Chain A
Amino acid sequence: MNKAADLAEDRNDGSSVIRLSGSLAIACLSDLPDRLEAVQGPVTAIDLSDVDHMDTIGAWTVHRTAKRLNCQITGGTEDARRLVDAVGQLDEPVPIRPDYVHPVSRVVGQIGEAVTAAGSTLVGLLGFFGGTLVASWHIIRHPSRFRLNAVVQRFEVVGVSALGIIGLMSFLIGIVIAQQGSVQLRQFGMEMLTINLVGRLTFRELGVLMTAIMVAGRSGSAFAAQLGTMKLTEEVDAMRTIGVSPMEALVLPRTLAVVVMMPLLGFYASIMSVIGGGFLCAVALEIPPITFIQRLREVVPITDLWVGLIKAPVFGIIIGLSGCFQGMQVKANAEEVGLRTTAAVVQAIFLVIVIDAFFAVFFTWVGWN
């Protein structure tokens, strides 16, 4: 059974017979298919008398050769002949890969698809926002349907559990800003301005922005994955048939939790950044903490805090909505859950930064600079 497959050619009068021998099984074929391919006609017959074992792959090799050389198959056991016949009946071309598309037209097609997808996503997100508003209005009119437990549970997951990582991140960012700023400002002998830099930058921009990015990565992705999986297992459909609105039961508690938690987390992150900056000033620049705080109160206007706190809930809405929206779009399979989760995070961070740019222009316009 383990004898290697071999072939011999009997030539006479210009035509020949191919004699196959050994085991025509996939493990013993080695280079036999290539050698058969090299045989040129005319060949009258392929003789299987010396073949002692054959599997379908061996049978297929015999069949394709016989077909190419247009010759008979002789000899061999009945089983072998039956196998070759059985395989021969299945001879029908089957495409292996999707049709080849020229790279240029493929790229153009992909760009087109991406544009329409972006457009429909934007419209869908707006519609989803509208749906959330309608659901909120229902809740306001029937406060008994408000799911306090669900919301409070989300508070913990979105807010309390994030304190550690957001605190550490903000502390380190405070250190980095102070360190990089002091290096530059030292050239002008104005190291004291490091305090302005840390104070204003963190309260106005970085505290809230970095928090939004972290929350989008932590909670936005979790929302998309949770809702996506619930869609796949038909939990969402089951809810609808029972008469529970997924908007009220799933989307609102999550969005509300992010909206409430974002200002708190953003404020906490700003404070942690300031502490980080103060720590570096004390250690590296020898500015005592008391001086640091005193100076901070002089240079950071209270409007900077308002700027941060006004932006935070808006960012929260964006993160919550895109997480839930993408999760609810899952339809086909588990792979889509992964894609939608990625999309939720990317979309949330992108929109947060776009809105942040608008806010920057707006607050300068109203004179809060």
Chain B
Amino acid sequence: MSEEDIQQAEEQRIEEALASSDIAIKVCGLKNSFGDQVVHEGLDLDVYRGEIIGVVGGSGTGKSVLMRSIIGLQTPDEGEIHVFGENMVGRLDDEALAIRKRWGVLFQGGALFSTLTVAENVEVPIREYYPNIGGTLRDEIAAYKIRMTGLPTEAGPKYPSELSGGMKKRAGLARALALDPDLLFLDEPTAGLDPIGAAAFDEMTRKLQQTLGLTVFLITHDLDTLYSICDRVAVLADKKVTAVGTIPELLATDHPWIQEYFNGPRGRAATAAVEREKNRAADGQPDGRR
């Protein structure tokens, strides 16, 4: 067998393994660069079905670029990205489109269409992909999606410019969930929210993920989010995913950035908060009365 044949057989094998396996997203050897500046080089990442994976990294390490590469807004220089077993790089055909329908994206600012009301925003993906769904049913679907993300009913006919930052994010999430995606991308969902709003958003993400069986790809800076809802955390540093695992696993590594991230003052505060929460749950008693 020539080298090419071996390579082809290998690719075939990987593809078959992917199609059947529990991996939702597989990124292999990703390279992204802007001009001379290389953002990613040889980046590998697996995201399992039904997990919430948190992606962290310092500013400028390319967290958003990684997300944009996976959802096809940024064509990588090299590498492969498999979503549900299909290679998505540079694909525009019907099969790729079918995969696209299976994910929803929440952009940082919500990215709502400013000329449409919140409810109409939610209806856009349904109208676009499933014109067979009638107007009344579509309105009803938009209505329960809006309620599902915890928005008040009065928010439906409002325009995005009339909403607060947190409401915009919820409305963006309602739109991302419009087609009942299997895969949800969240770009810094709690950035700019007050602690109560952020905690509520985390709680809602967790609940939706459990009810709908979602896989969630979550970019965040928020340590509380990582501790409270993420199953695994992927750390972007040195142009690749340097470590991926649960937080205790990450704490066991000796990468300086990871240590500083989790053991810095904010990291320790978040850990302490989680500990307190656990103790309270174990004792069934209010804080500090043991």
Q: Name the A residues within 8 Å of B101 (CB-CB).
A: 27
A148 CB–B CB distance under 8 Å: no
* A96-B142, A96-B157, A97-B120 given; A90·B148 CB < 8 A: yes
Contact for A98 among B123, B157, B161, CB less than 8 A: B157
Chain B contributes a number of interface residues (CB within 8 A of A) equal to 31
How far does the alpha carbon of A92 sit from the alpha carbon of B140 in the complex, in Å? 9
- B143 close to chain A: CB less than 8 A: yes
Type the 1/0 row for B122-152, where 1 means its CB is closer than 8 Å to any CB of A. 0100100010111001011111101110000
Given B119, B126, B137, B148, which contacts A61 in the complex, CB threshold below 8 Å?
Answer: B137
Q: Which B residues are within 8 Å of any A CB, using their own CB?
A: 101, 114, 117, 119-120, 123, 126, 130, 132-134, 137, 139-144, 146-148, 153-157, 161, 179-180, 211-212
Question: Would you call A94 and B134 a contact (CB within 8 A)?
Answer: no
CB within 8 A of A94: which of B132, B156, B161, B180?
Answer: B156
A26 vs B212: C-alpha distance in the bound complex, in angstroms? 14
Chain B residue at minimum C-beta to C-beta distance from A335: B114
**Which 8 A-B pairs give the minimum distances between C-beta atoms?**
A94-B143, A55-B180, A96-B119, A94-B156, A90-B147, A90-B144, A95-B157, A94-B153
**A193 close to B (CB within 8 Å):** no
Q: Which residues of B contact A93 (CB under 8 A)?
A: 143, 153
Write out, one digit per residue, whether chain A residues 69-84 have a CB within 8 A of any chain B CB (1) or not (0).
Answer: 0000000000000110
Q: Is the CB of B148 within 8 A of A94?
A: no
When distances are taken between beta carbons in the complex, the residues of chain A under 8 Å from B140 are 60, 64
**Bound: A99/B117 CA distance, A:** 12
Complex: A93 Cα to B157 Cα, angstroms: 12
| Interface residues, chain A, with chain B CB atoms under 8 Å away | 25-27, 29-31, 33-34, 55-57, 60-61, 64, 82-83, 86-87, 90-99, 332-333, 335
Interchain CA distance A93-B140 in the complex, whole Å: 8
| Bound form: Cα–Cα A26–B119 in Å | 18
**B132 to chain A: which residues have CB within 8 Å?**
29-31
Interface of chain A, helix or strand or loop or mixed? loop
B151 nearest in chain A by CB position: A94
List, sorted by A's number, 7 A–B pairs whose CB atoms are closer than 8 Å.
Answer: A33-B137, A60-B140, A94-B142, A94-B147, A96-B120, A97-B117, A332-B161
11 extra interface residue pairs, beta carbon distance < 8 Å, beyond A95-B153, A96-B142: A30-B132, A56-B144, A56-B148, A60-B140, A60-B144, A90-B147, A92-B153, A94-B119, A96-B117, A96-B123, A98-B117
Q: How far is the CA of A30 from the CA of B131 in the complex (A)?
A: 10
Complex alpha-carbon distance, A93 and B146, angstroms: 10
CA distance A289 to B6 in the complex (A): 83
A332 CA / B164 CA spacing, docked (Å)? 12
- Contact call A94/B146, Cβ cutoff below 8 A: yes
Which residues of B are found within 8 Å of A83, using beta-carbon distances? 211
List the A side residues contacting B153 at CB < 8 Å. 92-95
Contacts of A82 in B (CB 8 A): 211
Residues of A within 8 A of B154 (CB): 95
On whether the beta carbons of B157 and A57 are closer than 8 Å, the reply is no
Q: Are A99 and B157 in touch, CB under 8 angstroms?
A: yes
The residue from A25, A90, A95 contacting B180, defined by CB atoms under 8 A apart:
A25
A177 vs B139: C-alpha distance when bound (angstroms)? 60
Shortest Cβ gap from B224 to chain A (Å): 26
Q: How far is the CB of A345 from chain B (nearest CB, A)?
A: 22
What's the Cα separation between A55 and B154 when bound, in Å? Answer: 26
Q: Which chain B residue shows the least CB distance to A98?
A: B157
Q: Find out whether the CB atom of A87 lies under 8 angstroms from the CB atom of B144.
A: yes
Please tell me if the beta carbons of A56 and B157 are within 8 angstroms of each other in the complex.
no
Assess the A26–B180 pair: CB atoms within 8 A.
yes
Tell me the bound Cα distance from A95 to B101 in angstroms. Answer: 26
Complex Cα distance, B271 from A168, in Å, reads 69
**A61 CA to B134 CA, complexed, in Å:** 12
Please name the residue on chain A nearest to B148 by beta carbon: A90
Q: Which of B114, B117, B180 has the most CB of A within 10 A?
A: B180
B119-A97 in contact (CB<8A) = yes
**Could you tell me if A57 and B120 are in contact, using CB atoms closer than 8 angstroms?**
no
Say whether, besides A94-B143, A332-B161, A33 and B117 are in contact (CB < 8 Å).
Answer: no
Given A55-B212, A95-B157, A98-B117, are A60 and B139 also a contact pair (CB < 8 Å)?
no
Closest chain B residue to A333, Cβ basis: B161
* Closest chain A CB from B135 CB (angstroms): 10
A26 touches B144 (CB 8 A): no
Smallest CB gap from B102: residue in A: A27
| A187 shortest CB reach to chain B, Å | 54
Q: Output the least CB separation between A361 and chain B (Å).
A: 44
Note all chain B residues with C-beta closer than 8 A to A98: 117, 157
By beta carbon, the residue of chain A nearest B213 is A79
Q: CB-CB < 8 A to B147: which residues of A?
A: 90, 92, 94
Contact status of A34 and B119, CB under 8 A, knowing A56-B144, A92-B147, A97-B157: no
In the complex the two chains form, what is the Cα distance from A297 to B146 in whole Å? 76
Closest CB-CB distance, A282 to chain B, in whole Å?
53
* Choice from A92, A95, A332 contacting B119 with Cβ under 8 Å: A95
Query: Which B residue sits closest to A27, measured CB to CB?
Result: B101
* Candidates A26, A90, A96, A99; contact of B130 at CB < 8 Å: A26
Q: Smallest CB–CB gap between B182 and chain A, Å?
A: 9
Least CB distance, A33 to chain B, in whole angstroms: 5
Instruction: Assess the A33–B180 pair: CB atoms within 8 A.
Output: no
Closest to A93 in B: B143
What's the Cα separation between A31 and B132 when bound, in Å? 7
List, in ascending order, chain B residues with CB within 8 A of A96's CB: 117, 119-120, 123, 139, 142-143, 156-157
